[in-house]
Amino acid sequence: MDWAFVQKSWEKWASSNIGSSGNLSQSFHYILFYLLICDWGLHCKLQAVTANLACSKIAGLPLKAALLINYDPFRPSRLLSTIAEQEGIKISPIELSQFVNFIKRNKLQKETFMIGNNQYMVTSIHENWFCARCLNTSKSAGEGAIVMQTSVFLLVALYDGSIGLASRAMASVDQLVWQLNRKNL
């Protein structure tokens, strides 16, 4: 396994895809600031910089957290899965073990799973990935998870929001999985 490639790919991907999602109230203040500058007729360059700042604050990054789990369903059961990389969340070995057991049981639509303090229910299953929604969220737009499997990894991506943000999260997850699949990882 090319760990240097995995680590480099993860770091590049995580830096541009994982972080807090946009704070809309703060974004609203940036937009108001932008509109005030436009009304006062200040320099266009300052307007463009402020507009870009406002747009980046609104958009935010697609994911709030992600885990890359070393997982091979065909290896001996005595070999435990380990966390290869994680960003935005710290998960304990016990939580990891429970999640991997959930995957191994393959009763995705009959059971729920936990990541951190959140309980998730699977909403759609596909060939090598599934989506889930958080059952105990306090956020009005909700929270979700995307779990995608490569030949030797499980990528677990967590995001805030609903359909539009889920699409952005899926595109983000697909970028890293494509990189790993290129090297048959």
> When comparing pLDDT for 151 and 26, which is higher?
151
Q: Cβ(150)–Cβ(177) under 8 Å?
A: yes
* Domains, in order of start, for the chain: 3-20+62-182 (3.30.450.30), 24-59 (no CATH)
What are 76-128's pLDDT values in tens digits? 766 778 899 999 999 988 899 999 999 999 999 999 999 989 999 999 999 99
pLDDT at 56: 39
Structure token digits, residue 92: 């304990």
What are 37-66's pLDDT values in tens digits? 444 444 444 444 334 334 434 458 999 999
Residues 6+ apart with CB under 8 A from 161: 21, 141, 142, 143, 144
pTM greater than 0.85: no
Band of the pLDDT at 23, cuts 50, 70, 90? very low
The mean per-residue pLDDT over the stretch 133-161 comes to 94
